[in-house]
């Protein structure tokens, strides 16, 4: 399943938008196949090498079960995306489905255990954080409404995990045949320190290559400079350590990006495999 994106379907207008974006991510950009899971209950677990994470869905994920499959088929017929319906074969305990963790990507809204209207754009739900911290794959977070993206913006602030986000951004941009921009907010870190981090990751030369623009901001705030991120760009961020929010790649809070950017986003956690281990054609 390393070339499959797993999508947890919610049978609602917002869920439809999320599914459209997953199909676009797969077909238009990477040739990934799409596996759609229609929840049978409000819980499932994902097995991370004997350390399962139990995910609690809100009731909207199990609403209107009689029309869910037909709605998925309708959306994916229009997108012409290769897909299948995923049915878990194992159980964690009782009736909790147990998923494997060998996916290429999992698509997940910003929150999955709260009603969407209760939490604004600028918050990553705790269950999503748990997935990001444990997952050997990146987590794709769709935007509220579908919009084709024509570039990739990777955020880098000097850390090892930030360099992994840049690698992920490079792999995505290459496969999608779109330009890559690296966004760095200076202040607590210098350009020289950032270059050392990229060099240690073996990608400093690639950052200077064709199709990559490195934008360094030594003025203003992170929130202010996020205005420079194109409205039709896929954002790629890294998250490291045990405290996802406080240890984002550029040392600021993930909520700043969440609250400011309406763009779709890919989050790369500390246990994420390198892109060339997951993506088609050898990745990066």
pLDDT in tens, 148-160: 999 999 999 888 8
271 & 208 share domain: yes
- Per-residue pLDDT tens digits for 260-282: 888 999 988 888 876 655 566 54
The CATH number of residue 12's host domain is 3.40.50
Global confidence as pTM: 0.86
Query: Is position 156 within any domain?
Result: yes
259: in domain: yes
**Domain range holding 190?**
151-282
**Is residue 131 domain-shared with residue 172, that is, in the same domain?**
no
CA distance 106 to 7: 6
Contact 83, 35 (CB under 8 A): yes
Establish if 125 belongs to a structural domain. yes
Number of domains forming the structure of the chain: 2
Flag whether 146 is in a domain: no
Pairing state between β 233-238 and 151-155: parallel
pLDDT band at 25 (very low <50, low <70, confident <90, very high): very high
At 119-147, the pLDDT tens digits run: 444 455 566 777 788 888 898 989 888 99
Q: Do residue 128 and residue 184 come from a single domain?
A: no
- Domain final residue, candidates 141, 160, 176: 141
Of 243 and 10, the one with more pLDDT: 10
Whole-number Cα distances in Å, 16 to 7, 9, 143, 225: 11, 8, 12, 31
CATH number at residue 240: 3.40.50.620
In a domain, 241, yes or no: yes
């Amino acid at each position: 399943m390393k070339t499959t994106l797993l999508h947890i379907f919610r049978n609602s207008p917002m869920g439809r938008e999320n599914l459209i974006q997953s199909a676009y991510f797969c077909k238009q950009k990477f040739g990934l196949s799409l596996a759609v899971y229609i929840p049978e209950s409000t819980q499932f677990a994902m097995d991370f090498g004997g350390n399962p994470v139990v995910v609690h869905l809100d009731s909207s994920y199990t609403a209107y079960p009689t029309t869910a499959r037909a709605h998925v088929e309708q959306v994916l017929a229009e997108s012409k995306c290769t897909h299948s319906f995923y049915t878990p074969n194992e159980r964690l305990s009782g009736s909790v489905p147990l998923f494997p963790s060998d996916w290429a990507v999992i698509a997940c809204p910003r929150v999955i255990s709260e009603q969407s209207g209760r939490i604004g754009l600028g918050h990553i739900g705790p269950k999503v954080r748990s997935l990001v911290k444990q997952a050997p794959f990146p987590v794709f977070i769709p935007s509220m409404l579908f919009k084709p993206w024509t570039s990739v913006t990777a955020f880098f602030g000097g850390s090892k995990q930030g360099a992994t986000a840049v690698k992920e951004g490079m792999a995505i941009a290459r496969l999608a045949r779109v330009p890559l921009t690296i966004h760095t907010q200076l202040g607590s870190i210098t350009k020289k320190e950032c270059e050392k981090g990229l060099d240690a990751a073996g990608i400093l030369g690639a950052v200077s290559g064709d199709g990559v623009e490195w934008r360094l901001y030594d003025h203003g705030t992170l929130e202010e400079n996020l205005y420079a991120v194109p409205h039709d760009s896929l954002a790629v961020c890294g998250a490291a350590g045990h405290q996802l929010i406080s240890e984002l790649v550029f040392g600021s809070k993930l909520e700043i990006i969440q609250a400011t950017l309406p763009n779709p986003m890919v989050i790369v956690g500390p246990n994420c495999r390198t892109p060339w281990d997951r993506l088609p054609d050898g990745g990066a």
